[in-house]
Amino acid sequence: MCKDCAASDLSKLEPVFKEFEGDGHALVTILQRAQEIYGYLPADVIYRIAERQGVSPAKALGVATFYSQFRLKPVGKNLILLCKGTACHVNGADSIAAALKDELGIEDGGTTEDGLFSLKEVACLGCCSLSPVMMINETAYGSLTPQKAREIVRKIAAEGTAS
């Protein structure tokens, strides 16, 4: 069985189904819970949720792809959220993005082959005074320069995780 086709442990969903039993409007909430459990939304999980909520797999997948909060692929151990909001944009977020993409060899939404980093460009992270800013897992890194951003991910790569 290929890595991407590996079956998820669907029994982990049962408590969630129990909690929302009979609630036909809970699709988004159940998908959120599933993402908390699995870290992303594997295809077999989406299918099971669709089946249990009485909607088509296409509808569940449509919801999962519509909202940017949902991830359809596993994320790396360190999730980099790079702010592309206005303040960060004005203060050079594009050059930070270019440095990170070059350093990691991935594009926005991508994950490094070793599974260590995922990169996602996002809107304002709410700490504009530190712009340009990125968050890696729970830690915010501000006043970035391209060189500083490279050094941060190199240090994390050497240590394995940000926090």
Nearer to ligand FES, 34 or 133 (CB): 133
The answer for 160, left when phi > 0, alpha when psi is -120 to 50, beta otherwise, is left
Query: Which of 88, 100, 104, 106 lies at the binding interface for ligand FES (CB under 6 A)?
Result: 88
Distance CA 15, CA 21 (A): 10
122 near ligand FES, rule: CB under 6 A:
no
Query: Which of 45, 83, 135, 149 lies at the binding interface for ligand FES (CB under 6 A)?
Result: 83
Distance CA 28, CA 93 (A): 31
Query: Which of 29, 65, 86, 139 lies at the binding interface for ligand FES (CB under 6 A)?
Result: 86
Query: Which of 71, 81, 131, 134 lies at the binding interface for ligand FES (CB under 6 A)?
Result: 131
144 near ligand FES, rule: CB under 6 A:
no
Residue among 97, 13, 24 at smallest CA distance from 47: 13
Least Cβ distance, residue 146 to ligand FES (angstroms) = 16
Q: Which stretch binds ligand FES (CB under 6 A): 26-34, 55-63, 94-102, 122-130?
A: 122-130
Instruction: DSSP for 136-163, please give it.
Output: ETTEEE-S--HHHHHHHHHHHHHHS---
Which element (helix H / strand E) includes 97? helix 93-104
